[in-house]
Amino acid sequence: MGRLTGHVALVTGASRGMGRGVAVGLGEAGATVVVTGRTAEAVGATANLVTEAGGVGIAAVCDHRQDAQVHDVLAQIGRELGRLDVLVNNATAIPDLQLLFTGTPFWEVSPQMWDDLFNVGLRSHFVASAAAAPTMISRGGGLIVNISSAGAIARIGAVLPYGVAKAALDRMTADMAEDLRPHRVTVLSLWPPPTSTPGMIAAAGEDDDPTSWSLPEFTGRVVAALAASDHFGRTGTAVRARELATELGVEDALYAPDQTG
């Protein structure tokens, strides 16, 4: 039995990339993992990978731009599983990932990127957390992880809205943690290292070295180790995944050219 056998987790935006890796990492620890995404085929594939890894994968089609769909997923978890121990807010939208690797000035960045990053990468995290909080409060504890970025404190590429959204997410994390502190629910922001998702590999420039990047499953293993630990003392903080991995004894997993990411 894994460390999280019997625990229920929800990973948003888990149809590919970072979200898929987080879901699989939780599955390796034995968790039941509900995974969301906009297409049934993609979330079904992630759910199967979770089950193959040793957990129980459950696919839930959900567009995180639609509040009602988010609430429906949380209601389904309550009806069918009766508990929620871990929420990982990962859903985001970056229309042009290659901008992360350019020096494009902000006045040449489309306002649509601002809207996408704030509506999906920030607002949807608020909606999912608000929907999950009552269940965690009723159980006397839980863990909410907001997938953020070091872009909250240092510019990454050209995407001005990206860093602003991540800074806002970290502030929201701290404030949510204060509200949930009396209920022993931990809320923290996690900053993954450069990660070899297919999209990041495709967008990488000549000077980038993906072999120094972590696999998406690495962040999932860090989240799983965190969930299995006495994590409440970390509530309200923003932490780097590699630093947390060192503390929790999680070995990094680096990309190799023959891997798909």
- From 162, 191, 213, 255, the catalytic residue: 162
> Can 255 be counted among the known catalytic residues?
no
Cβ-contact 119, 92 below 8 angstroms? no
Instruction: With CA atoms as reference, report the closest residue to 147 among 171, 116, 121.
Output: 121
Distance, CA of 241 to CA of 223 (rounded, Å) = 9
| 235-140-78 Cα angle (round to 5) | 105
Which amino acid appears at position 115 of this protein?
D
Maximum Cα–Cα distance across the chain: 53
DSSP E strands: which ranges in the chain? 8-11, 32-37, 56-61, 86-89, 142-147, 185-191, 238-240
Active site (catalytic) residues: 162
